Amino acid sequence: MMKVYTTEKAPAAIGPYSQAIEANGFLFASGQIPIVPATGALAAGDITVQAEQVMKNVGAILQAAGADYTDVVKTTCFLADMEDFAAFNEVYAKYFTGKPARSCVAVKELPKKVLCEVEIIAVKRTN
């Protein structure tokens, strides 16, 4: 059984995809970019500012699904420039304290020319 999760506290999907979907106890969240949900505008600033907004968006989706950052088992991080790796890591480390598995790659370009994007896989706990 699959369940779709949507929250207004994260940017709405702008295409034929879900913010997140749960399947067999796993939560798969679509990549989040630094859009401020309340305004629909990009978070203006450097990699630190944009990474903070991305992490907030990821957190909002996790919360909507009844999960949190400690439930994340895998992240995939996309950077527009590997020169931003250290600054991105500083922000990332504040949120993902459980140190999930991770891939981090530089890509040629991200949607809306943002500096970073993060997608996650989490395990839904049964309490």
The one catalytic residue among 36, 73, 87, 104: 104
Per-residue pLDDT of the chain (127 residues; tens, 9 = 90+): 899 999 999 998 888 899 999 999 999 999 999 999 999 999 999 999 999 999 999 999 999 999 999 999 999 999 999 999 999 999 999 999 999 999 999 999 999 999 999 999 999 876 5
Looking at residue 109, which CATH number applies to its domain? 3.30.1330.40
Amino acid at 90: E
Q: How many domains does the chain have?
A: 1
> 81: Cβ–Cβ under 8 A, 6 or more apart, which residues?
106, 115
Q: Tell me which residue range forms the domain holding 48.
A: 2-123
Taking the model in full, what pTM does it have?
0.95
Whether 104 is catalytic is yes
